[in-house]
Amino acid sequence: MLKSNSFVRKTKKGKVLKVVRERYLRDDIGCGDIQCTKCDSTLAKLNGSSTQYLIIDTNIVLHQMDMLEHCSVNDVIVPSVVREEVKKRNLSLYNRLRTLCTCETRRFYVFSNEFHQETYVEQEQGESINDRNDRAIRVACRWYQRHLPDKQILLLTNDADNMKKAKQEGLQVQTALAFAAEQNISELLDLVVRPSDGDDDETGGGERPSKRRPPIYKDHKSLTELQLGMREGRYHQGTLRVNRYDPSRAAVSCESVGFDVYLKDHIDMNRGVDGDRVVLELYPEEQWVTEETRLPTEETDLVTEDENTGVAELAPDAGEEGYGIGAAGGTRRVTGYVVGIVKRAWRPYSGSLDLKSVRGGKAATVDVLFCAHNRSIPRVKIRTRQLETLKDQRIVVVIDSWSVFSRWPEGHYTKTLGKGGDKQTETEVLLVENDIKTQPFSEAVYACLPPLPWDLAAEEAKKPERADLRHILVCSVDPPGCTDIDDALHCTTLGNGNYELGVHIADVTHFVHPGTAVDLEASDRCTSVYLVDRRIDMLPKALTEDLCSLRSNVDRLAFSVLWEMTPEGDVLPEKTRYTKSVIRSSAALTYAEAQARIDDERLLDDISVSLRRMLMLTKKIRAKRMAAGALTLASPEVKFQVDTETHNPTDVGVYQIRETNQMVEEMMLLANCTVAAKILDSFPLWAVLRRHPTPSPQMFEPILRAAAAVDVQLDTSSSKALADTLDLAERPSDPYFNKMIRILTTRCMTQAQYGCSGQMTTAEFHHYGLAAPLYTHFTSPIRRYADVLVHRFLEAAIGLTRLPPVLTDKDSVKELSDQLNYRHHNAQMAGRASTELHTLIFFKDRVVTSDARVIKVKENGMVVFVPKFGIEAMVYLNPKGVEEKAFELNMETQKITNAAEDLSYQIFDKVFVQISVAEVPPHGRKLMLKLVEESEVPVAGA
């Protein structure tokens, strides 16, 4: 049977097209029951011995996917109309549904109701597409009832209208909650998303909170109102960033305002969660607040009982009185409040249950607050029957809704990560928190790789587009233990007195072709993630450690950039070459080994001489870069020594930077800048570039105030002026002072970002930190997908291939860039979290005293940085049980003083702290820092 319909649509260019779609209806589509004698059972997945089959609607998939993924839910019929509707509305959920339907161990069957003669329905006059789809699902249910009369066909829906009509038509129907309750599985019931608006009645018929108490928050304005307000300049849009130390405070960076807008409490945040895209309205200037002058107080028991309703609610966050109009010495901040939310950033959150917040419910069900590991996330109210099982576990919770009547959002439990405090569990926590992909590579990915052992085919080496450079002395210089070697270097003398300098990068795109399973997986992960005790690869190890790794004494494929350079370090642009190549590295050196060869002038072998030439040239390149205004920034990097058996840290110290580190860095920077210019020249609308925005004057205010307080003048008028004044920022009594200034200066800047050249202005190409007009990432394709894309651009730019279609559309390249930025940021955060975790493990059974630097002062304490261990933490001047000392804060001099006890602390002062670890429920272990006198510091060797 043939059905057809036609409609007109308008293209992006304004043309009107008539579209005719034909649908062939069949009578041989099976029901999916493996024991059905009427249908072909070749593709059947439903267990014929089951007495009940479930049919789900779109609402269930969109809101109850965690429940559907539970192993107890099987024999599920997914109408094709549901699958297609989910695909249009939420691609992430569609992929999860598709995984369920294709998994051999799960009994989920896709019934092609849209192509079945007896179940296809046409949209009626005046009927919405959603109502038509719901009717199609009910028609499928009736067909199954007739087709399998010995089975109970149960429609699962939370849509009230669909449920009402199903009951009128004589269908068996249940809500997700009712179905889960009948299964009598506590974990399954916890996975159900409950009714919103604070409805506590499991049957859905409870009294609305509005009849019991007034709302806490204001309703969010509609999208139309928000857009109108932004056009009129009344509203401003930006991303909400909640203070991790004091989650009652937040800020929103609004381009239309020009600087951060502060939100002084949870009421002004109006149900916004860290990362949400929100719309603000500013308070009148007379209501702007002053800068907070106190550190946030320790967390207290925030749970109270509403005397009138008996409903567990929570008191406002402690310490809210810290903001005040016109407080002495405070700096006034532009202040506003959230009026609407454009896009939610909700995701799965890991953390623990706050057992002090438990409130009884029906039967064994209790309400309890979940505390996310990330303290900038609000507590989440969940309902569970597994309190005894989950009370000491790290769990994952998803936010479902946030009513105007509830102080906290409501959510549901999804899975358990493990016992709190266990190293493996805490590592899982940081991976979940940063959305790091850890699943094993699929068989489809491995099928894209050549079999091992792999040897370079002779015909590949002889291809005219691939230069044979195996005669050139090439070596790699990397950190110790590096197995994913993606770059190698060479430097040779030319007959005219110049030098040939070369960077050779692993030719990953020879093995990773566009659109293949391995390419799609890499584009999803975007980057390798480096934790203290492990590496989570972007690509399979067969590629990262064998096929693409530029190991010594083996032939490997590379993408090479070759320069001719004068002895003064000037590149001759017309002599620059780009080529696919074959290389054979002569040595895989560590930074220390390369430095030892350079420093030992008795060594005159070819590798040592080449390294010395390379260092000489890169020093001149670096000097030119610094003269152009490039910044030498700093970050508190530390390196752990890890036990080979337990993988626990045995020692920790500051990462040592050698001349060879800077040598390799300069070579990589030169390659990236050169390639950026080449691909932009060839593809001005599509090139992937890496830009670092110039900070606004307001962004530098914190470091300028801090430096001025200790009589250091920084000039931020240009990167060159800043670089020069940073070089002069010295304190003879403190050799670490200059690095501390650089660390705090770095924090005033935004991170560098990937972007599409066609969606940026020429001025936006600029990389502020490097003082480079153009920059990209080309040199690490084994561990960064951005570099894979740039390799494809460069390959097309030199005429070796054509660009894949996805790289010839600005919008597609923009989407790829956004994904790269997201994954890169998450990988950085995961690496820092791993460092923090191993720091906790290192100090678990130790009490250590060390010097520290004051980086922020407040009335009741200060924030200090411990250089040796890379620790930043708050130090209170009023420990529990000790009467608060009377300190006065001078914001201008960044100094706190207690005249009675002749005590004073100023920003950048050197102090001594005692570091230990304490248990702080429900989050677990926490580093505790306490000020000590210098006389209390143990003498080395004593």
Residue 660 pLDDT: 94
Report which of 406, 387, 245 is spatially closest to residue 863, judged by C-alpha positions.
245
Determine contact, residues 759/890, Cβ cutoff 8 Å: no
CA angle, 269 as apex, 267 and 273 as ends, to 5°? Answer: 130
Tokens 């304190």 appear where? 731
344 by DSSP, 3-state: which? coil
What is the phi/psi pair of residue 284, to 5°?
Answer: -60, 150
Residue type, 75: D
Q: What is the mean pLDDT of the segment spanning 909-924?
A: 88
Residue 200's pLDDT band, with cuts at 50, 70 and 90, is very low
Angle in degrees, 0-180, between the axes of helices 423-433 and 810-843, rounded to the nearest 10: 150
The residues near 587 (Cβ < 8 Å, ≥ 6 apart) are 475, 476, 552, 607
Determine contact, residues 679/790, Cβ cutoff 8 Å: yes
- Options 2.120.10.30, 3.30.1440.10, 2.40.50.700, 1.20.120.530; CATH of 347-418: 2.40.50.700
Report which of 769, 777, 770 is spatially closest to residue 487, judged by C-alpha positions.
777
The whole model's pTM is what?
Answer: 0.86
CA distance 13 to 784: 36
Residue 13 pLDDT: 62
Q: Is the pLDDT reported for residue 317 higher than 80?
A: no
Domain 3-191: give its CATH superfamily.
5'-nuclease (3.40.50.1010)
- Give me the chain's average pLDDT, please: 87
Tell me, yes or no, if the two domains 347-418 and 845-941 fold the same way. Answer: yes
Determine contact, residues 138/165, Cβ cutoff 8 Å: yes
Residue type, 201: D
Q: What is the mean pLDDT of the segment spanning 544-553?
A: 94
Element housing 932 (H / E): strand 924-932
The residues near 295 (Cβ < 8 Å, ≥ 6 apart) are 245, 858, 860, 861, 862, 863, 874, 876
The residues near 13 (Cβ < 8 Å, ≥ 6 apart) are none
pLDDT digits (tens, 9 = 90+) for 321-334: 333 333 334 567 89
144 by DSSP, 3-state: which? helix
CATH architecture of 214-345: Beta Barrel (2.40)
Q: What is the mean pLDDT of the segment spanning 43-58?
A: 91
Is there a cis peptide before residue 149, judged by omega within 30 degrees of 0?
no
> Which sequence spans correspond to the domains of the chain?
3-191, 214-345, 347-418, 443-685+776-826, 845-941
- Options 3.40.710.10, 1.10.287.3510, 2.40.50.140, 3.90.1010.10; CATH of 845-941: 2.40.50.140
Q: Which sign, positive or negative, has the C-alpha torsion 300, 302, 303, 305?
A: positive
Q: Is the pLDDT reported for residue 466 higher than 90?
A: yes
Residue 303 pLDDT: 38
DSSP codes, 521-589: HHHHH-B-EE-SS-EE-SS-HHIIIIIS---BTSEEEEEEEEEEE-TTS-B-GGG-EEEEEEEEEEEEE
Residue 298's pLDDT band, with cuts at 50, 70 and 90, is low
